[in-house]
Amino acid sequence: MSHRPRTALPQGFLTPRTLTRRHKRRAVKSCALLLAPLSVGLAACGTGNSSGDPLASAPYDATDAVSVSTRADATDVDPNQPLKVTSRNGDTLTDVTAADASGRVVPGELSADGKSWHSTGPLAAGAHYTLDVGTENQDGAPGRRTMDFRTRPASKHLNVKLGPQNGTYGVGMPLTAELSRPVKERRQRELVERALKVDSQPRVEGSWHWVDSKKLHYRPRSYWPAHATITLRSSLKGLKIRKGLYGGKAKPVRMKTGDRIVAVADASSLRMTVKKNGRTIHTMPITTGKAGYETRNGIKVILTKEPYVRMTSASIGASDFYDLGVHWATRLTDSGEYVHGAPWSVGSQGVSNTSHGCTGMSSENAKWFFNTVREGDIVQHVNTAGEKMAPFGNGFGDWNMDWKEWRAGSAVDHGRPVGNGAADAARLRPQV
C-alpha cells in the first residue's frame, strides 16, 4: 500500500531521539546474527524477505491495528470534533498525518507511549481529508493505514473579496482584502492574515495592515518594483475562524506593475515634474487649491482616468458658482481631487493657486498626463497649505504612513489587537 509523502510534520511525531533508540534496538537484533554460524550470516546478506528482517518487508496492512474516531469514506464528519487515532493489538503508532486536498496539515499530539494520537487544531469545514497512519508491531515490522473522509460543510462563511482586479497598475497600487463579516479578536485576525498569501517577483518586504475590522491593505516598505508580478490568493476556505464561522472562497488576483511613474506637484513653485523610472520626462506649470480650498499635502495613488467629468460648485458647497465640463480628468481622491485640463486658468498656471482643490493645467498638458499615467501611479503634492492626505478613507493614502506604524497594524507582526479604524469617508464629489 502506497502512502502520501509528507511536506510538513504535525506536532506529535516521534522525536529523532526516540527513533534513534528504536534503530539501536533493531541494530542489536541485526548484530546478533553475526554470532550465529556462518551459514546463517550468509543468509542474512541475501535479497528478499528470507532474512526475516522486519525492515526488509513491505508495510503490513494496519487497518485492524488502528482505530479511528470516524469511519472511512464518511462525508459528514463534524469539523468541531477532534480527530482521534488509537492503536489495537499492542501495536505502536509511529506517525500520523491528516491533511486536506490543498495540503494543509492538521496539528496533532502523539501520546508518550505511542498508543494514541489526537488533533490539537480544528479541521476545515467542507474539506476532503486523507489520514495516513504508520505503526510498528511487537516484532518491529512497520505497518500503515490510509483512509479518506470529508467534513461537513459550514453554514456561515467569511467571504473575502481581493483587489485590485487582474491587470497592470502603477507601482503605488496596494493590495486589498474586504471581509464579509467583521473580525476583531487578535487570534482570529492572525488566522485570516496568514491565509492571505502574497507573492512578488522580484521579492519585496511587505505587510498587511488592518484598516478596520473588515478591511485590510497590503503594501511593500517602499513602492513596488517596476515590471513586477504580484499574486494574491486566499487559503481561508473551510478554515474555522470562530464558532460557527468558516472561511469561504475567494477569487485570486494577479497584478503586474508598469514603469515607475511618479509625479510631484509643488504648490509653491507651481510646477509638476513627472519622472519615469527615475528620469524626468516632463515639467509643466500648474495651479492648485486657493485659500479655503487648499489641496491636500502628501502622496496619492491614481484611482481612475475619466475623459470627461462635470464639476459644479454645489458638489463641494463652494460659495462662488461654477458648472464646468472638464476634460482629461485623472482622479486622485474619493472626495474629488483631480489632475485635469483647466483652459480657463492658463494665465494663472505657474503663477498663482486658483482652483477649488484640483491640480489644473493646460488641456494639452492634461491630455499628455492622462495618456502617460495609469491607475496606481503616484502623484505627490508638496508645499500646499492643505491638510495631510489621510492614509485611509479617501482613496489610497497608504504611503503617507511610515513603515513602523504600518507594520503595527498587522496581526502577525505584532502580538496585540490591531487596526486603527478607517478615517471618516470624505464626500464623494469632484472638486475643481
Q: Among 244, 79, 236, 239, which residue's Cα sits nearest to residue 156?
A: 244
358 is catalytic: yes
* Residue 133: count of CB within 10 angstroms of its CB: 24
Q: Where are the beta strands (DSSP E) in 53-169?
A: 60-61, 66-68, 84-87, 92-100, 108-110, 116-119, 128-136, 142-150, 157-158, 160-163, 167-169
Q: Active-site residue among 157, 209, 217, 340? A: 340
Three-class SS state of 139: coil
Q: Is the dihedral of CA 90, 96, 100, 105 positive or negative?
A: positive
> If residue 17 lies in a helix (H) or strand (E), which one and from where to where?
helix 16-32
Taking phi first (over 0 means left), then psi (-120 to 50 degrees means alpha), and beta for anything else, what does residue 383 get? left
Query: Per-residue DSSP letters for 370-386?
Result: HHH--TT-EEEEES-SS
162: phi then psi, degrees, rounded to nearest 5: -95, 145
Q: What angle do CA 304, 308, 314 make, to 5 degrees?
A: 95
Cβ atoms of 141 and 57 within 8 Å: the answer is yes
Cβ atoms of 380 and 396 within 8 Å: the answer is no
Cβ atoms of 26 and 55 within 8 Å: the answer is yes
Peptide bond into 343 cis (omega under 30): no
Residue type, 431: Q
Q: How far apart are CA 106 and CA 304, in angstroms?
A: 44
Residue with cell 517602499: 222
Cβ atoms of 430 and 325 within 8 Å: the answer is no
Q: Active-site residue among 157, 209, 217, 358? A: 358
Active site residues: 340, 358
